[in-house]
Amino acid sequence: MCAVGETYIRAIQRVGGTPVVIPPTALEADWAVLVTHLDGLLLSGGGDIDPQLYGEDSEPWMGQVDAERDFSELGLTRAWLATERPLLAICRGHQVLNVALGGILYQDIAAHVPDALDHAYVATQPMETLAHSVTLNPGSRLAAILGGTTFDVNSSHHQAIKTTGDRLVVTGHAPDGVIEAVEMPAHPFCISVQWHPEAMVKASPTMWPLFEAFVQAAGS
């Protein structure tokens, strides 16, 4: 059993949204209720997704998995995407979105990406610590929302997107080529980032527009 970090809740509150925490045990009957009653879905960070859910056997560097949370979040994500309501995916959520749409992950960046940066950097640092830059596609929604194409971000992940799921396009990379952002161009608001913008909002206003745009889209 896991808990949603306080920083997600405060980031939504900061921009005028009303956070509702969804238990990671939500079942199929709950998904329909949540899809009916919520205005936006934020997929939060957490541990690794079971590789069997994207067709691979577990490699030795895999972290512990939570089958109940995987089932719940993948199902809710697919149900949610049947609507056109806003979805913001962060870190594990970014990976959940990708797997929900048939994408594949690197089970460990260090094991699979030659000369990769240390993306697990903030494991030993405060979460707001900036670890590497990201370069965004100038035509992406995310670049338009954030008002630029290059940002320094935190980094607290050892996995990353290897191949993108259906309808997702890559919109941002780290300097080592690791995918850091994707979005769904055909959807009104489906934005997904590998870093933790919610942990940056207290120290800097850089990521405020992302939460403002998400809550604004959910309220429209």
Closer to Mn ion at the Cβ: 69 or 196?
Answer: 196
The answer to whether 95 contacts Mn ion (rule: CB under 5 A) is no
Candidates 7, 98, 155, 164: give the one binding Mn ion (CB under 5 A). Answer: 155
Q: How far, CA to CA in Å, does 20 sit from each of 54, 83, 145, 147, 211?
A: 29, 18, 24, 28, 15
**Given the rule CB under 5 A, which of 9-17, 53-61, 112-120, 161-169 is the region that contacts Mn ion?**
112-120
The answer to whether 119 contacts Mn ion (rule: CB under 5 A) is yes
Q: How far apart are the two ends of the chain, measured CA to CA in Å?
A: 33
β-strands 190-193, 160-163 pairing: unpaired
Closer to Mn ion at the Cβ: 80 or 195?
Answer: 195
Contact between 41 and 76 under an 8 Å Cβ cutoff? The reply is yes
* Residue 39 C-beta: closest distance to Mn ion, Å: 29
Q: In the numeric block, which tokens belong to residue 72?
A: 């719940």
Q: What phi and psi values does residue 70 have, to the nearest 5 degrees?
A: -55, -50
Closer to Mn ion at the Cβ: 22 or 108?
Answer: 108
* Residue 121 C-beta: closest distance to Mn ion, Å: 8
Among all residues, which ones are annotated catalytic?
91, 196, 198
> Under the rule (CB under 5 A), what is the footprint of Mn ion?
119, 155
